[in-house]
Structure 1
Amino acid sequence: MGITGYLKNSLAENFVRRVPVLYPYLMDLLARSESMSLEERRQLRDQLTVRTLKQAGRTRYGRRTGAARTYGEWAILEKEALREDNAAFSARGFLPAHPAATGGTTGVPLMLRRSVQSVVFEQAVIDHLVQRSSGLDWKKARIAVLRGDTFKDPADMRTPHWVLRHGGLHLACSSVHLSPATIQDFMTAIRNFSPQVLWVYPSALEAFVRLGAEFGEHSGLSDLKVVFSSSEVLDPAVRQEASRFLDVPVLDFYGQSERVCASWNLNGGEHYFMPAYGRVELLPAYEDDAFGFYEVIGTSYWNPAQPLVRFRTGDLARVRKGVGAADLEAITLGLLPFEGVEGRRSEYLLSPEGARLIGINHIPRGVPDIVQMQIVQTALAKVEIHVVPLKGFGAQTVEIILGNARQKIPDNMEIDIRITDHLIRTSSGKTPLVLRQIG
Structure 2
Amino acid sequence: MGATAYLKNSIAESLVRRTPGIYTRLMKLILRSETMSLDERRALRDALTDRTLNIALATPYGRTMAMKAAYDQWPLLEKELLSQNPHLCLARTLVPPAAASTGGTTGVPIALTRSLEAVVFEQAIFDYLVRRHSGLDLKTARVAVLRGDTVKSPDDMSEPHWRLHPGGRRLICSSYHLNASTIGSFIEAIRSFQPQMLWVYPSSLEVFTRLGAAALKEGGIAGLKLVLASSEVLDANVSGEISDALQVPVIDYYGQAERVCASHAVRPGEHYFLAAYGRVELISAYDDGEASLYEIVGTSYWNAAQPLVRFRTGDLVRLPCGMGADELEAVTLGLLPFQGVEGRRSDYILSPDGRHLNGMNQIARGVPGIAQLQIIQKSLASIEVHVVPLKDFGEKSTDSILANARQKIPSSIDITIRTVDSVTRTKSGKAPPVIRMVE
Instruction: Decide whether the 8 Å contact of 1:107 with 1:427 is kept in 2.
Output: no
Distance 1:299 1:393 in 2: 44
Which residue of structure 1 lines up, in the alignment, with residue 413 of structure 2? 413
Which sits farther off after the overlay, 170-179 or 282-291? Answer: 282-291
Which residue of structure 1 lines up, in the alignment, with residue 326 of structure 2? 326
Instruction: Output aligned runs, 1:22-101, within 5 Å.
Output: 22-101=22-101
Gaps (5+ residues) in structure 2?
1-5
Which residue of structure 2 lines up, in the alignment, with residue 141 of structure 1? 141
What does the per-residue CA deviation read over 1:213-240, in whole Å, with 9 as the maximum and x for residues that have no partner?
2567734312111110100011111111
CA deviation after TM superposition for structure 1 residue 206, in Å: 0.4
CA deviation after TM superposition for structure 1 residue 94, in Å: 1.0
AA of the residue aligned to 1:12? A
Does residue 368 of the first structure (1) align with residue 371 of the second (2)?
A: no
Distance 1:184 1:317 in 2: 35
CA deviation after TM superposition for structure 1 residue 245, in Å: 1.7
Which residue of structure 2 lines up, in the alignment, with residue 211 of structure 1? 211
Measured at CA, do residues 285 and 252 of structure 1 come closer, stay the same or move farther in structure 2, by a change above 3 Å? same
What does the per-residue CA deviation read over 1:32-57, in whole Å, with 9 as the maximum and x for residues that have no partner?
00111111111111111011001111
Which residue of structure 2 lines up, in the alignment, with residue 127 of structure 1? 127
Instruction: Output aligned runs, 1:287-298, within 5 Å.
Output: 287-298=287-298
Which sits farther off after the overlay, 359-368 or 392-401? Answer: 392-401
Instruction: Decide whether the 8 Å contact of 2:216 with 2:246 is kept in 1.
Output: no
CA deviation after TM superposition for structure 1 residue 106, in Å: 5.3
What does the per-residue CA deviation read over 1:331-384, in whole Å, with 9 as the maximum and x for residues that have no partner?
111122222111111111110000110111100111111211100110011101
Which residue of structure 1 lines up, in the alignment, with residue 359 of structure 2? 359
Measured at CA, do residues 337 and 7 of structure 1 come closer, stay the same or move farther in structure 2, by a change above 3 Å? farther
Distance 2:8 2:226 in 1: 23
Distance 2:87 2:216 in 1: 53
Instruction: Decide whether the 8 Å contact of 1:219 with 1:245 is kept in 2.
Output: no
Does residue 162 of the first structure (1) align with residue 166 of the second (2)?
A: no
Which residue of structure 2 lines up, in the alignment, with residue 224 of structure 1? 224
AA of the residue aligned to 2:437? Q
Q: Secondary structure at the match of 1:218?
A: helix
Which residue of structure 2 lines up, in the alignment, with residue 424 of structure 1? 424
Instruction: Decide whether the 8 Å contact of 2:113 with 2:305 is kept in 1.
Output: yes
Instruction: Decide whether the 8 Å contact of 1:148 with 1:430 is kept in 2.
Output: yes
Gaps (5+ residues) in structure 1?
1-5
AA of the residue aligned to 1:276? A
Distance 1:123 1:340 in 2: 23
Which residue of structure 2 lines up, in the alignment, with residue 187 of structure 1? 187
CA deviation after TM superposition for structure 1 residue 12, in Å: 2.1
How large is the RMSD of aligned CA atoms in angstroms? Answer: 1.7
Measured at CA, do residues 204 and 153 of structure 1 come closer, stay the same or move farther in structure 2, by a change above 3 Å? same
CA deviation after TM superposition for structure 1 residue 87, in Å: 0.7
Instruction: Decide whether the 8 Å contact of 2:151 with 2:172 is kept in 1.
Output: no
Q: Secondary structure at the match of 2:270?
A: coil
Does residue 383 of the first structure (1) align with residue 383 of the second (2)?
A: yes
Would you say how many aligned residue pairs link Structure 1 and Structure 2? 434
AA of the residue aligned to 2:81? A
AA of the residue aligned to 1:24? T
Q: Secondary structure at the match of 1:259?
A: coil
Distance 1:115 1:40 in 2: 26
Measured at CA, do residues 372 and 149 of structure 1 come closer, stay the same or move farther in structure 2, by a change above 3 Å? same
AA of the residue aligned to 2:244? R
| Percent identical residues | 59
Instruction: Decide whether the 8 Å contact of 1:10 with 1:166 is kept in 2.
Output: no
Distance 2:357 2:77 in 1: 24
Distance 2:214 2:371 in 1: 9
Instruction: Decide whether the 8 Å contact of 1:319 with 1:339 is kept in 2.
Output: yes
Instruction: Decide whether the 8 Å contact of 2:143 with 2:169 is kept in 1.
Output: yes
CA deviation after TM superposition for structure 1 residue 301, in Å: 0.3
Distance 1:302 1:310 in 2: 14
Q: Secondary structure at the match of 1:393?
A: coil
Measured at CA, do residues 216 and 109 of structure 1 come closer, stay the same or move farther in structure 2, by a change above 3 Å? closer
What does the per-residue CA deviation read over 1:260-318, in whole Å, with 9 as the maximum and x for residues that have no partner?
00111113252111110000011112224442221110000000111000000101111
Q: Secondary structure at the match of 2:68?
A: coil
Which residue of structure 2 lines up, in the alignment, with residue 19 of structure 1? 19
Instruction: Decide whether the 8 Å contact of 1:285 with 1:293 is kept in 2.
Output: yes
AA of the residue aligned to 1:308? L
CA deviation after TM superposition for structure 1 residue 103, in Å: 2.7
Distance 1:310 1:108 in 2: 17
Measured at CA, do residues 253 and 362 of structure 1 come closer, stay the same or move farther in structure 2, by a change above 3 Å? same
Measured at CA, do residues 274 and 246 of structure 1 come closer, stay the same or move farther in structure 2, by a change above 3 Å? same
Which residue of structure 2 lines up, in the alignment, with residue 237 of structure 1? 237
Distance 2:91 2:204 in 1: 36
Distance 1:415 1:268 in 2: 31
Distance 1:137 1:276 in 2: 21
Distance 2:216 2:313 in 1: 40
Which sits farther off after the overlay, 203-212 or 266-275? Answer: 266-275
Distance 2:38 2:121 in 1: 23
Distance 1:438 1:215 in 2: 41
Instruction: Decide whether the 8 Å contact of 2:243 with 2:249 is kept in 1.
Output: yes
TM-score by length of structure 2 reads 0.96
CA deviation after TM superposition for structure 1 residue 8, in Å: 10
Does residue 109 of the first structure (1) align with residue 96 of the second (2)?
A: no
Instruction: Decide whether the 8 Å contact of 2:294 with 2:316 is kept in 1.
Output: yes
Instruction: Decide whether the 8 Å contact of 2:151 with 2:173 is kept in 1.
Output: no
AA of the residue aligned to 1:303? N
Instruction: Decide whether the 8 Å contact of 1:292 with 1:319 is kept in 2.
Output: yes
Distance 1:432 1:196 in 2: 28
Instruction: Decide whether the 8 Å contact of 2:196 with 2:226 is kept in 1.
Output: yes
Instruction: Decide whether the 8 Å contact of 2:220 with 2:245 is kept in 1.
Output: no
CA deviation after TM superposition for structure 1 residue 418, in Å: 1.5
Q: Secondary structure at the match of 2:150?
A: coil
CA deviation after TM superposition for structure 1 residue 188, in Å: 0.7
Which sits farther off after the overlay, 219-228 or 233-242? Answer: 219-228
